[in-house]
Amino acid sequence: MENLQTILQSPTPVLIDCFATWCGPCQMVPPILKEVKEKLGDKLRIVKIDIDKNQQLSAQWQISSVPTLLLFREGRMIWRQSGVVPAHQLLPILNQHLG
């Protein structure tokens, strides 16, 4: 399995879904991301990260609330937002960053 560092360095933008199993709103995110993936296909890679199992990462990225979406390209975070973002709002934001 590829490690996260390799995935983040990739020229393909990576959307990280930071979630927790105990978080109610986090349950609303997977169908949104499924729709986003169907629309964007290979232009975007989506990775889910459980903040409870990856506390070092959540500290590094200063995740204070979940769900939080982070968009990386070539190792740099280029966008982040906390809270549930509906697909119709998320798609234009992502398209803007996908170029």
Spell out the domains of the chain, with CATH numbers in brackets: 4-98 (3.40.30.10)
Please say if 18 is a catalytic residue. Answer: no
What is the per-residue pLDDT across 32-47, written as a single tens digit (0 to 9) for each? 999 999 999 999 999 9
Q: Are 33 and 17 spatial neighbours (Cβ–Cβ below 8 Å)?
A: yes
Q: Which of 14, 15, 26, 90 is catalytic?
A: 26
Q: Which of 4, 23, 47, 91 is catalytic?
A: 23
Decide: 26 and 67 in contact? Cβ < 8 Å.
yes
As a whole number of angstroms, the distance between CA 90 and CA 92 comes to 6
Residue owning tokens 């933008």: 13
Q: pLDDT tens digit string along 50-93?
A: 999 999 999 999 999 999 999 999 999 999 999 999 999 999 99
